[in-house]
Chains A and B, each alone.
Chain A
Amino acid sequence: MKDFKAQTTKKSAPGSKGGLNQEIQARIGHQLRAMYDDVVKQGVPDRFADLIKRLDEPPQGGHVAASESERRD
């Protein structure tokens, strides 16, 4: 679905409740992404890298059904 971005030529009058101020929306978008990206930039904490590595080992006597023979190259 395409959004109509072009319909911003009509300047919203000060105090009008209708159109959202584009500049304010840009600031909100920027703050939201800044908050989010700050965490993304921290990368993968060891805690999670270890967790996935540990679970990647074949379970010993686990309950995982061996319906298919798993090949791991």
Chain B
Amino acid sequence: MPLTDSLRDDILAAVPSLRAFAISLSGNGDRADDLVQETLLRALANIDSFQPGSNLPAWLFTILRNLFRSDYRKRRREVEDADGSYAKTLKSQPGQNAHLEFEEFRTALDKLPQDQREALILVGASGFSYEDAAAICGCAVGTIKSRVNRARSKLSALLYVDGAEDFGPDDTVRAVIGSNG
């Protein structure tokens, strides 16, 4: 369909969550915004292939996800978030404890296999249904469910360790990493 005013508004409205998805995937604010820009250019160039009335956010997320994956294969995360550029993109600076906790969470999230990370983000943060997430990732619904479950249990092992009551977060993470070799 042609780019109508309302379609353009809908695309604009999806930009904040596209950025959040891109940053969650890549862990790097600058790269994430390049990814969003590329996504928008692709979407607008291929707007004729968008089916009116279908799920626009899911269509845009699919484009971004595929771009990220082809980019990822090329670059292999050579640019890590070494100087905390991701944290700098956050507006509300959390207190120090919350900030530490956030860094640990981010670190643990980055340790997940990419398939599991994207499934968890789509379902747990973006709010897509399992069906939509499966369509975005081009896999079966059952595959998405199992990736989300594995992501959750791996994160809980990395961050909290089963049943630990009085953990020190740093020690916990180190212990898990160490014991897993």
A→B interface (CB under 8 Å)? 1, 14-17, 20-21, 24-25, 27-29, 31-45, 47-49, 51-52, 55-56, 68, 70, 72
| Assembly CA distance A55 to B47 (angstroms) | 12
| Assembly CA distance A33 to B24 (angstroms) | 10
> Are B101 and A28 closer than 8 Å at their CB atoms?
no
> Are A39 and B162 closer than 8 Å at their CB atoms?
no
> Are A38 and B92 closer than 8 Å at their CB atoms?
yes
> Are A33 and B125 closer than 8 Å at their CB atoms?
yes
> Are B105 and A39 closer than 8 Å at their CB atoms?
no
> Are B12 and A49 closer than 8 Å at their CB atoms?
yes
Q: Does B153 contact A (CB under 8 A)?
A: yes
> Are B12 and A52 closer than 8 Å at their CB atoms?
yes
CB contact between A33 and one of B2, B40, B124, B156 (< 8 Å): that residue: B124
* Chain B: interface residue total (CB-CB under 8 A): 45
Q: Which A residue's beta carbon lies closest to that of B106? A: A35
User: B interface, by DSSP: helix, strand, loop or mixed?
Assistant: helix
**Interface-centre pick from B41, B44, B89, B124 (highest chain A CB count, 10 A):** B124
Please name all residues of chain A whose beta carbon is closer than 8 Å to the beta carbon of B91 when the two chains form the complex: 38, 41-42
| Assembly CA distance A54 to B163 (angstroms) | 55
Shortest Cβ distance from B74 into chain A, in angstroms?
23
B→A interface (CB under 8 Å)? 2-5, 8, 11-12, 15-17, 19-21, 23-24, 33, 36-37, 40-41, 44, 89-92, 101-102, 105-106, 109, 120-121, 124-126, 130, 141, 152-153, 155-156, 159-160, 162-163
The 8 A-B residue pairs whose C-beta atoms are closest, nearest first, are A36-B125, A39-B20, A14-B163, A40-B16, A36-B20, A44-B15, A31-B105, A24-B156
Please name all residues of chain A whose beta carbon is closer than 8 Å to the beta carbon of B153 when the two chains form the complex: 20
> Are B156 and A39 closer than 8 Å at their CB atoms?
no
Shortest Cβ distance from B23 into chain A, in angstroms?
5
Shortest Cβ distance from B102 into chain A, in angstroms?
7
| Assembly CA distance A45 to B91 (angstroms) | 13
> Are B105 and A52 closer than 8 Å at their CB atoms?
no
